[in-house]
Amino acid sequence: MFKSGFIAIVGLPNAGKSTLLNAILKEDLVITNPKAQTTRHRIKGILNGENHQLIFSDTPGIIEESAYKLQEAMMGSVNESLEDADVVLLVLDGQYPKFDLFVERMKKTTCPLVVVLNKADLVENQDSIEAHMESIKNTFNTDHVFLASAKEGFNIETVVASLVLLSPEHPAFYDKETISDESVRFLVSEMIREQILNLFKKEIPYSVEVSVTNYNEKETIDEIYATVFVERESQKGILLGKGGSAIKALGIASRKRIEAFVHKKVFLSLTVKVKKDWRSDEQQLRYFGYLKK
Ligand SMILES: Nc1nc2c(ncn2[C@@H]2O[C@H](COP(=O)(O)OP(=O)(O)OP(=O)(O)O)[C@@H](O)[C@H]2O)c(=O)[nH]1
Ligand SMILES: [Mg+2]
């Protein structure tokens, strides 16, 4: 019997949804960061087993009030993933396992629910976590509640086994070699954004969008040209840094990250451009793929 299911990974920002997806896939496919709202798109990652194929959608962390059109679009992608799902994988931070926000939301879906209390390695009070798990089981009427650590790889296989169990019987939807249906260009642009999250402070990571404009795959090297868009002239100055020092550091860190992913030498050229207030501009959001055409 072959099982194949669409799994929507949802939860609050910073719960560890993307880290959990990477742990499940055993590959650094999606970007992760201590800053909230790292994930902006619905991103598919595919786990292939002998008798199953699970198609995960990593989603942006749920926020109650959107300050920008970008955030509205991000929440749209969460809803879309929930609509398509066979199983919902709700990820909570085990240190603060609040779930009130999800009670109403989950009532709208009829599909089975698996809940992960992540960051088990940081949870100190075992008694209180067990009480929380009991109350989650009762509230959502599910037996599938697990304590896990995406970072340390603890209990990941148990979570996967539950997801397989709850998935429908169906042949594979994708080629069994496939790990994602995202383009390499998109994944590379995310890796550059990840380095921006690592290297820059305050509003900079939230104000940037990265777009790969050219990707030339050569025999021994991949040549990549990418543009980093910012909202204002002042942000461009920060990204470039004194004498171009900041963009140089960003280029080096990004190149290393991409090389580790494509297992090849990479030449990377970065350009910075201003696209005024792009986060509030519907046309720009469409252009960057946040809204459907
Ligand atoms: N200690 C510990 N840290 C974790 C664990 N899982 C994730 N983290 C950390 O938590 C932070 C947030 O992880 P992400 O995977 O980016 O969280 P997310 O839920 O995808 O966040 P958004 O995309 O912003 O919604 C990162 O710094 C991770 O390294 C875990 O099991 N233990
Ligand atoms: Mg994420």
Q: How far apart are CA 144 and CA 166, in angstroms?
A: 10
Using the mean position of ligand 1's atoms as its centre, give its distance from the Cα of residue 32 in Å: 6
The dotted CATH code for 184-287 is 3.30.300.20
Q: How far apart are CA 230 and CA 238, in angstroms?
A: 10
Q: How far apart are CA 234 and CA 287, in angstroms?
A: 23
Using the mean position of ligand 2's atoms as its centre, give its distance from the Cα of residue 43 in Å: 10
- 176-181 long-range Cβ contacts below 8 angstroms, 24+ apart: 176/48, 176/53, 177/48, 178/46, 178/48, 179/25, 179/27, 179/29, 179/45, 179/46, 179/48, 180/29, 180/43, 180/44, 180/45, 180/46, 181/44, 181/46
Using the mean position of ligand 1's atoms as its centre, give its distance from the Cα of residue 206 in Å: 17
Q: How many CB atoms lie within 10 A of CB 220?
A: 6
Indicate the Cα dihedral angle 256, 182, 168, 10, nearest 10°: 70
CA-wise closest residue to 113 among 84, 91, 80 = 91
Ligand nearest the Cα atom of residue 28: 1
Q: How many CB atoms lie within 10 A of CB 48?
A: 17
Q: How far apart are CA 18 and CA 47, in angstroms?
A: 14
Q: How far apart are CA 270 and CA 224, in angstroms?
A: 9
Backbone φ and ψ of 9, nearest 5°: -90, 115
Indicate the Cα dihedral angle 103, 107, 112, 117, nearest 10°: -10
Whether 160 and 47 have beta carbons less than 8 Å apart is answered as: yes
Q: How far apart are CA 256 and CA 191, in angstroms?
A: 10
Ligand 1 contacts (CB < 6 A) are: 11, 13-19, 32-34, 36-39, 60-61, 118-119, 121-122, 149-151
Q: Which residues pair with 45 in a beta bridge?
A: 56
Fold observed for domain 3-166: Rossmann fold (3.40.50)
Q: How far apart are CA 35 and CA 32, in angstroms?
A: 9
Atom of ligand 1 nearest to the CA of 12: 25
Atom of ligand 1 nearest to the CA of 15: 19
The pLDDT of residue 293 is 62
Atom of ligand 1 nearest to the CA of 61: 25
DSSP 8-state assignment for residue 9: E
Using the mean position of ligand 1's atoms as its centre, give its distance from the Cα of residue 218 in Å: 35
Atom of ligand 1 nearest to the CA of 58: 20
Q: Whose CA is nearest to atom 11 of ligand 1?
A: 34
Using the mean position of ligand 1's atoms as its centre, give its distance from the Cα of residue 169 in Å: 31
DSSP 8-state assignment for residue 150: T
Ligand nearest the Cα atom of residue 15: 1
Q: Whose CA is nearest to atom 8 of ligand 1?
A: 16
Using the mean position of ligand 2's atoms as its centre, give its distance from the Cα of residue 28 in Å: 12
Q: How far apart are CA 81 and CA 178, in angstroms?
A: 20
Using the mean position of ligand 2's atoms as its centre, give its distance from the Cα of residue 42 in Å: 10
Interaxial angle between packed helices 245-262 and 233-240, expressed in degrees from 0 to 180 and rounded to the nearest 10: 70
The per-residue pLDDT string of the chain (293 residues; one tens digit each, 9 = 90 and over) reads: 999 999 999 999 999 999 999 999 999 999 999 999 999 999 999 999 999 999 999 999 999 888 889 999 999 999 999 999 999 999 999 998 888 888 888 878 889 999 999 999 999 988 899 999 999 999 999 999 999 999 999 999 999 999 999 999 999 999 998 899 899 999 999 999 999 999 998 889 999 999 999 999 999 999 999 999 999 999 999 999 999 999 999 999 999 999 999 999 999 999 999 999 999 999 999 999 998 76
Ligand nearest the Cα atom of residue 197: 1
Whether 80 and 43 have beta carbons less than 8 Å apart is answered as: no
The domains of the chain are located at 3-166, 184-287
Atom of ligand 1 nearest to the CA of 39: 23
